[in-house]
Every structure is written in structure tokens, then in C-alpha cells.
Amino acid sequence: MGNGVTKMTEAIKFNLPVFVVIAPLFIAIVLPVFARRIRLAEGMVIFVGVLGLAGALFLAHIVLDRNSGTWIYQMGGWPAPWGIELTVGNLAASFLLVVMGVSLPVSLFAVGNLTHEVGGKQRTARFYTLFLLLVGALAGMALTNDIFNTYVLVEVATLSCCGLVSSRRHPRAAEAAFTYLMLATLGSALVLCGIGFIYTITGHLNMGFASQALNEIWQTKRHVVWMAMSLVFVGFAVKSALFPLHVWLPDAHSSAPSPASAILSGLAIKGYMICLLKFFYSVFGPGLIKEFAMDRLLVLAGMIAIIAGSVMAIPQDDLKRRLAFSTVGQAGYIFLGFGLMNKDGLAGALFYLASHAVIKSTLFLSAGAMISATKKRKISELAGVGRRMPVTMAAFTAASLGLIGIPLFSGFIGKWYLITGSIEAGSFLPTVVIIAGSVLCATYLFPVIRVAWFESAPKEPQKAAAQETGDAAVQRETAEVQEGPVQHGQLKDPGILQKLALVLLTVAIIVLGTVPGPLLELAKRAAAELLVLR
Amino acid sequence: MRDFILKRVAALILPFVCVYGFYVIFHGHISPGGSFAGGIIVGLSFIAFSTIYGIEKGRAKLSEDVLTWTESFGTLWYGIMGMVGIFKGVPFLANKLAGIDLGLPGELFSSGLISYIGLGVGIRVASTMITIFFTLMEDEE
């Protein structure tokens, strides 16, 4: 009996990398059957979330423990050039931890709170299916070591994102989803072309083998390598909303239901960034990045994105749109860090990625809670919300401080490492831009905090303010939202699970800001690993 | 459609179309085609039935609940087949390593788990095709 149990634990431990990927995927496809018993379906989603987080924590523990080398899992027992490999390294473990750590609170927030936004049990079940498919695909992106497998996971993630964006019954959501579908498909096509070029010249789909082959032949096939690199870069840049290619993001992320916005802004675009990082550093290698000046391009694009995204966020009066534009700006930091080509910069980018995932989900979830309680989307109409919804607004405030980069909150540590990295890289412009980005971030987030905490609630809804803006789509949205009766007496914090989700995320922000130890260690080791010249 | 000849011919042919679809699915590992193509053929036999005899009769044969179940569990079957390896103490989706007799290449009962996985994929594809068809028909009404 005892022998059987140890055998089972051994089997689970041995197969953990594949379990964290397939558990969400297979539960996702079974969920439609339980559409009529939505409580059961929700319970399954939470269960998978808890299991996934436990698995991710255990994998991170193993990776931190063994200190060097990566754990390679061969699917079906086939060795590398033929089979598909999953690698559990520092990068994979840290991103997996982020994915599972953010998706569990988001699903907690969604439980019992979706029907008014999505409508109907069938549609709610479909939402959870797409949600879990996205989580599984992101976990796969973290672990896979095969470039075509990456592409498949990218497609799964993209299509489930489209579904999540369109899950609200509203013309604006459908429009946003269509724009996203078109641009994301374009991005996928570019990535696929890049993969095709890599496969044509190297004959390998495994990242390690492709990288080896590329290092041997790149001098004779300079243009092909350059093309492949550019295609992969632009493809993933479209999907992760790097500044000039971000046009789909504000609509898509602001018109989705709040839990979907949280996971789209917090995790989905990060998955594509991790894919880009893997392609650039694990396939092409740091040498080729420098050779084709991709590092300078990344830094430049990152700087432009930080400034442009933040500046565009300032005039937005719609709360979720402001947060969506802020995502465009914050994505810039991560791209900038990817291009710094030193240990501090890359570790900073990875830590900032984790911290932004947590912070932006908190912001979107608390914004969603405020919007569904007040039935208003405008920042100027949120006066006095802080007094009535203290927990929600406290979470929003903590997340805002984290995003700005106040010490003791997680954003600070990421920005600190990015700044030391950029000073080490010898260029001072990125340093200035990072600090300017923080100031701009304060410019667009402090007004929300001021209005919500320090202004007293108005006597009647101000409809005049809604008609001043020219954005017709926003007006339609506002009109739709305002249909419900506005009762200021009932304005209070959301249910216990929603509060729990917000508290968990806020605690995560503060813990990452005060004791960043393990995650920072993983990020540093991952950076050191990626920067090794082969 | 009220065409007598069409209905009689369909009644004669469609069962064979359906069986042929399963033939393609089960021979996926040794001949051209495979579970995707076979699943499409199986789905097509039901789609043709609903077009010729009317959507209500098609719905009566395969209700929405049945389709949801086959769709979900067709894919889950893939996962269960993958788990066989794990139960035997070897990696996910392992076939020969899991100690399954692969048989002689070219024979129907060969290649271990591949043909069983193909059955799951085929069922999934067939039910998805039918679901898409029913959804489109409902939108039109």
C-alpha cells in the first residue's frame, strides 16, 4: 500500500511539467458538459487553479533547489530532434508561477460574478472554457522547447483571447474582437513565416538544435536569418501590443468582461513576450541579436512605447480604457529590458513582467468591481467610491502605487533593476525614459485615486459630462451600462470571493515588493542563462 | 425538400457514407486520410441527412446534449490515451515505451495507441462539424 502511494507520488512528480499544461486544457474541454450545473463548473475551475498553482510552486522549488541545469521532459519518450521537449528551467518556472499565481485570483473573482456581464449559463461555461484554454496555452508557452509547438500554443491563446473579448453580448465587444482577430492572425502568420525560414535553413524545430545549427550557418545565410528575426519580432510585437502595433489593444481589453480584461492585460500579452524572448535568446542567441542590432531596436521601441502609451492614457476618461493604454506603456518597459543585453536589465524585465501581471490584474479587477457597482465607466463619475468600497479602492490604490514604482511595492524592484541595467549598458536615455514613465504613470493614476477617495459623491449622475466626448462607442457603452438602476445606498464592496481575490493580489504586490527573494533569484538566474554566448 | 428520389437515394447511400467515414478513421495510421478526414466524412453523412430530411429530424437523431458530450469526451479520450503512458511509469503519450504491442506495420491492428487516439479525434471532428452546421442553420431561421 505504502509502496503504491510512493510510486504514485513519484509518477506525479516525474510528469508534473506535462500535468500543469494538460490539466487546464482537458478540464477546459469538459466544461461545456457542465453548463447547466455552473456551480460545479466553477468549482472545477478553482480546483484546477489551485492544483496549477501548487504545481508551479513545486516546480519553482525544484528549480531553485537544483541550482543549475534544466529538467527536460520528453513527450512520449522521444529524444530531442524528433520529439517535443518541455524544459523546466529558471525562465519557465518563473513565468509558470506568474501564470498560475495570477489566474487563480482572477478565476476566484469571476466565480458567481460573471452572469451579469456575460449572460446565461451556457455563455458562462463557454467563458470558463476559453479562460482555461488560455491558461493552459500560457503554461505551455512557458515550458515548451519546440518552435512549432510554440506556434500552436500561440494560436490556441490567440483564439481563446478572441473568444474572451467577444464574450460580452455587445456590438462594441464584437467589433473589438474582430479587429483583434484580424491583427492577431496577421501576427501569427508573420511568426509562422519566421518559423518556416528557421526550419528551412536549419532543419530543426527544437530550440536547442535550431540554435546550434544557426550558429554554424548564419554567416552564409545572413539575409534569411535577418528576415526570420524581423518576422518573429514583428509578429510577436503585434500580439503583445508594442507601441505602433497596439491599435487593437485598447478596444479589446476595455470591452471584455473584467476578469477577461485582467487576464488579457495581465497574462496573455506576457505570454507572447516570453515567446519572443525564447525565440531571440534561445534560438537566435545573444550574438545574433547584437549582430543584427535587434537589441537597439528593442530598446528604442520600448522607450517610444513607454512614453507614447503613457501619454495616450492621460486623456482617457473611461477607466478601463485608461488602464488598457497604460498596458501599452508598461509593455514598453519589458521590451526595453529585453534589449538591454545585460543581466540586470533582463532580470529586471522578467521581474517587471511578473509584477505588471499582478498589478494590472488587480487594477482591472478592482475597476471592474467599481464599474459593476456604480454602473459607470467614467473616472469623473467615480467620486466618493473609495468611502463606499474601501477594500476595492484600497486594492486599486496599492496596485497604482506599485505600477508607479513606489518602494515597498513590486513595481519598484523591477524598475530599479531596469535602471541599473540601462546604466550598465552605458546609455542614459533609457534611464531618463524609465523615470519619466513613472511620472507619467502617476499623472494618469493619481487622478483616479483622488477622485475616488477625496471627492464627495455627487447628488445626481452627471449626464452632461458623458456627451462632451466625441467617442460615440464610449457613449453607447455608457448608455448601456447606465440602464441599470443606480442606487447609491447599495454601493458597497463586492462579495467575499471577489474581496478575497483582490486581497490575495494586493498581498502578492506587497510581498513581491518587500521580499522579492525567490522570484528575483529565478529571474536573475534565467537572465544569466539566456545571456550565455553559444 | 420533398424530392422522393433524393430521399430514397440518400437513405441508401448515407449509412455507407457514415461507415466509410469510420473506415477512414480506423485506417488512419496505415492509409491516406486519417481521423480528421474520416471525422469530416462521418459529420457529412449527418449534415446531408439533416439537409435532405429537414433540420428537425437531424436534431432528433443527434440532440445538442449528445453533441456536447461527444465533442468534449472525444477530446478527453485523447488525454486518457496519453495518460496510459503515465500509468505505466513512462512519459505522457508514450506508445511503445508503455509496453503496448505495436504489431506489424501495415496491418489494421498495429501502431498501438495511435488508432485509439484517432477514434477520439474523429468523433470530436464529426461532432464539431455537425454543431457548426446546426448553429449556422439556426442563425438563418
DSSP string computed for A7-37: HHHHHHHHTHHHHHHHHHHHHHHHGGGGTT-
Q: Which are the contacts of B38, defined by CB distance < 8 A and separation ≥ 6?
A: B21, B22, B23, B24, B25, B26, B28, B118, B122, B125
The C-alpha cell at B63 is 440532440
| Cross-chain Cβ contact B97/A76 below 8 Å | yes
Q: Are A326 and A402 in contact (CB under 8 A)?
A: no
- B95 vs A: CB within 8 A: yes
The conformation of residue A337, written as its DSSP 8-state character, comes to H
* A378: β partners: A318
pLDDT confidence band for A67 (50 / 70 / 90): low
Give the nearest partner residue to A30 out of B76, B87, B94, using CB atoms.
B76
- DSSP letters, chain B, are ---HHHHHHHHHHHHHHHHHHHHHHHTTTTSSS-HHHHHHHHHHHHHHHHHHH-HHHHHHHS-HHHHHHHHHHHHHHHHHHHHHHHHTTS-TT-STTTT-----TTSSS-STHHHHHHHHHHHHHHHHHHHHHHHHHHHH-
SS3 label, residue A176: helix
Residue A429 has pLDDT above 70, yes or no: yes
- Using a 10 angstrom Cβ sphere, with 0-12 exposed, 13-18 middle and 19 or more buried, the burial of residue A242 is buried
Q: Are A26 and B83 in contact (CB under 8 A)?
A: no
The C-alpha cell at B102 is 505495436
Q: Are A257 and A116 in contact (CB under 8 A)?
A: no
CA of A46 to nearest chain B CA: how many angstroms apart? Answer: 19
Residue A484 has pLDDT above 80, yes or no: no
In terms of DSSP bridges, do strands A71-74 and A85-88 run parallel, antiparallel, or are they unpaired?
antiparallel
Residue B58 has what pLDDT? 87
Give the nearest partner residue to A26 out of B79, B85, B91, using CB atoms.
B79
* Closest residue in A to B94 (Cα–Cα): A76
CA of A160 to nearest chain B CA: how many angstroms apart? Answer: 16
What is the C-alpha radius of gyration for chain A, rounded to an integer number of angstroms?
A: 22
Q: Which residue is it, cell 509562422?
A: A192
Residue A460 has pLDDT above 60, yes or no: no
**Which one of B81, B88, B92, B131 would you mutate to disrupt binding with A, by most A Cβ within 10 Å of its Cβ?**
B92
- Using a 10 angstrom Cβ sphere, with 0-12 exposed, 13-18 middle and 19 or more buried, the burial of residue A327 is buried
- State the virtual CA torsion across A404, A409, A415, A420 in degrees, nearest 10: 140
What is the C-alpha radius of gyration for chain B, rounded to an integer number of angstroms?
A: 18
Residue A86 has pLDDT above 50, yes or no: yes
- Residue B105: phi and psi, rounded to 5, are -60, 140
* Closest residue in B to A72 (Cα–Cα): B91
Q: Are A379 and A451 in contact (CB under 8 A)?
A: yes
Residue A465 has what pLDDT? 45
pLDDT confidence band for A1 (50 / 70 / 90): low
Q: Are A121 and A39 in contact (CB under 8 A)?
A: no
Q: Please write the tens of the pLDDT for every residue from A193-223.
A: 999 999 999 999 999 999 999 989 988 989 9
Q: Please write the tens of the pLDDT for every residue from B69-99.
A: 998 989 899 989 988 888 888 888 888 888 8
pLDDT confidence band for A508 (50 / 70 / 90): very high
Q: Which residue is it, cell 459623491?
A: A457
Q: What integer best gives the mean pLDDT of chain A?
A: 88
Question: For residue A169, which of A160, A181, A177, A179 has the smallest C-alpha distance?
Answer: A177
Q: Which are the contacts of A220, defined by CB distance < 8 A and separation ≥ 6?
A: none
Residue B121 has what pLDDT? 92
Average pLDDT estimate for A498-519: 92
Q: Which one-letter amino acid corresponds to residue A31?
A: L
The C-alpha cell at A503 is 486581497
- B72 vs A: CB within 8 A: yes
pLDDT confidence band for A457 (50 / 70 / 90): confident
Is the model more confident about A492 or about A338? A338
**Which one of A6, A26, A144 would you mutate to disrupt binding with B, by most B Cβ within 10 Å of its Cβ?**
A26
| Cross-chain Cβ contact A75/B68 below 8 Å | no
Count CB pairs under 8 A between chains A and B: 50
Q: Which residue is it, cell 513590486?
A: A410
- Using a 10 angstrom Cβ sphere, with 0-12 exposed, 13-18 middle and 19 or more buried, the burial of residue A9 is exposed
* Whole-Å CA distances, B30 to A214, A238, B95, B111, B118: 36, 41, 16, 9, 12
- B88 vs A: CB within 8 A: no
Q: Please write the tens of the pLDDT for every residue from B27-61.
A: 988 888 889 999 999 999 999 999 998 888 888 88
Which ranges in A203-318 belong to alpha helices (H)?
A: 207-217, 222-239, 249-255, 258-263, 269-277, 285-291, 294-313
- Per the document, the length of chain A is 534
Q: Which residue is it, cell 483616479?
A: A448
Complex ipTM = 0.89
Q: Which are the contacts of A481, defined by CB distance < 8 A and separation ≥ 6?
A: A371, A375, A376, A377
For residue B75, which residues of chain A lie inside 8 Å, CB to CB?
Answer: 26, 29
Residue B120 has what pLDDT? 92
Q: Are A298 and A338 in contact (CB under 8 A)?
A: yes
Give the nearest partner residue to B91 out of A29, A31, A73, using CB atoms.
A73
Count other Cβ atoms within 10 Å, centred on residue A304: 17
Residue A121 has what pLDDT? 78
| Cross-chain Cβ contact B71/A30 below 8 Å | no
For residue A7, which residues of chain B lie inside 8 Å, CB to CB?
Answer: 89
Question: For residue B44, which of B25, B69, B29 has the smallest C-alpha distance?
Answer: B25
For residue B87, which residues of chain A lie inside 8 Å, CB to CB?
Answer: 11
Quote the pTM value.
0.91
Q: Please write the tens of the pLDDT for every residue from A216-263.
A: 998 898 999 999 999 999 999 999 999 889 999 999 988 889 999 999
- A50 vs B: CB within 8 A: no
pLDDT > 90 fraction of chain A, expressed in percent and rounded: 61
pLDDT confidence band for A532 (50 / 70 / 90): confident
Q: Are A325 and A312 in contact (CB under 8 A)?
A: yes
d(CA A39, CA A117): 17
pLDDT > 70 fraction of chain B, expressed in percent and rounded: 96
pLDDT confidence band for A374 (50 / 70 / 90): confident
Domain boundaries, chain A: 1-184+250-281, 293-458+482-534
The conformation of residue A76, written as its DSSP 8-state character, comes to G
Q: Which residue is it, cell 436534431?
A: B59
For residue B76, which residues of chain A lie inside 8 Å, CB to CB?
Answer: 26, 29-30
Q: For helices A496-514 and A90-110, give the axis angle rounded to 10 degrees.
A: 150
